[in-house]
Amino acid sequence: MRTPTYGLAFATALVGAACVVGYPPVGGDDASDGQDTTDASEDDATTDTSEDDASTGTDGTEDGETTDTDSSEEDASTEEDASTEDTTTGGGEGCVPVDDGLFQFEIGLDGQSVGQTTLDEGCTIAEVNEDDGLQLVLDCFSGTLELSMSGSPAIEPLGTVGDPVALWLHTSMTAETWMRIDYPERDASRFVIYGGTLAPDDAYFPLPWGLAPVDACEPHDDGCLFLAAETLGVSFEGQELEVGDSDYGEITFDNLPVPVPELRMWVDRAFQVTGGHRDCLPEIESTFGYRLHLTSVGRPVEGDTCDPGLQEPCATGLHCCYPCGIPDCDFLCTAEDSNTMECPPPAP
């Protein structure tokens, strides 16, 4: 992995215009405040993040099974079989932060580095390539945005060519990155966070599903900095997930064959810089304590096939209905009748 080199450290503060995102926060009103209190150290420089292929994997869990190998989790009961997995796929050693390429990414705009910018606009997926990691090309008002990602386990596209997406991107002069992509046709979202804070101090960025540190280790001396490894927690569909530095975790609901709620989180870095040695001049990139990727897929949206036997087969405001009223039709997620708050009567 390429590591940028800087001659100065702990220097220029960010300058950027605040932006109000044009679509609602993921996770409800509790997620609307995206500000984090971690201090960031920055420098006057522009650098690119780099991508390395990660070679490790993780095993799935069976229905209703909870696997916990590093982080602690809370058991929660739902109407469906839920599987919450928190499995170390990186090289973390508990409280010793390790940067081993569990998740890597690169972002470009019209073939150039993005630089310091804030974007909030609709785009269309122009290309999807999974030959070496995941490469997405989005046609946006501001230009063509190229996003390359690699992760262990592999990262899925979430959408196909031609699908509309909503993009929100904020980058600093030192390449700190906060990005959200919404896929309305799948009720799905993608988040990339890379920087000294979970949310930028100078722009609106709702943290997904209540993302926040839930535990921290005693600081570790790496020879230059004192790093306190953290565990990050989210709450999704009544399930709690906690994932530490260099770990991967997921929440899935086994109600196939219909689309199922799912949350996946790659935490390549999660630590705070609590201090350092006086005679040390750290590279600025080494002070960015967060690099993570999170995807979430919700319940079936209007028009999707659904299973009427489930407690909540469709998204909020929709019912699993039998619209044609004759045999051999699929049950579909349908907008409820405004008078009865149930399925509308079948078409004549």
* Sequence-separated (6 or more) residues with CB below 8 Å from residue 196: 38, 39, 40, 41, 42, 176, 273, 287, 288, 289, 290
- What SS3 class is residue 279? coil
Q: What is the length of the chain?
A: 348
The pLDDT of residue 31 is above 90: no
Q: In percent, how much of the chain has pLDDT > 70?
A: 68
Cα gap 249→243, rounded to integer Å:
6
The pLDDT of residue 56 is above 80: no
Amino acid 231: pLDDT: 97
Q: Nearest Cα to 171, choosing from 125, 116, 111?
A: 116
Cα gap 324→302, rounded to integer Å:
16
Which letter does DSSP use for residue 207 in this model? Answer: P
The pLDDT of residue 243 is above 90: yes
State the average pLDDT over residues 222-232. 95
The pLDDT of residue 49 is above 70: no
Tens digits of per-residue pLDDT, 114-148? 999 999 999 999 999 999 999 999 999 999 999 99
Dihedral over Cα of 256, 262, 266, 271: its sign:
negative
In the beta sheet, which residues pair with residue 269?
A: 291
State the average pLDDT over residues 241-250. 96
Tens digits of per-residue pLDDT, 209-218? 999 999 999 9
State the average pLDDT over residues 16-24. 39
Tens digits of per-residue pLDDT, 286-312? 999 999 999 999 877 777 777 777 767
Of 58 and 161, more confident: 161
Of 236 and 17, more confident: 236
Cα gap 234→217, rounded to integer Å:
19
Alpha carbon 155 to chain centroid, angstroms: 11
Cα gap 308→320, rounded to integer Å:
6
Of 94 and 106, more confident: 106
- Tokens 């592999």 sit on residue: 154
Amino acid 25: pLDDT: 53
The pLDDT of residue 23 is above 50: no
**Strand ranges (E), 173-297:** 177-183, 188-195, 212-216, 220-221, 225-236, 239-244, 247-254, 262-276, 290-297
Amino acid 255: pLDDT: 57
* Sequence-separated (6 or more) residues with CB below 8 Å from residue 153: 57, 58, 89, 248
Residues 300, 315: contact at Cβ < 8 Å? yes
State the average pLDDT over residues 219-241. 94
Average pLDDT of the chain, as a whole number: 76
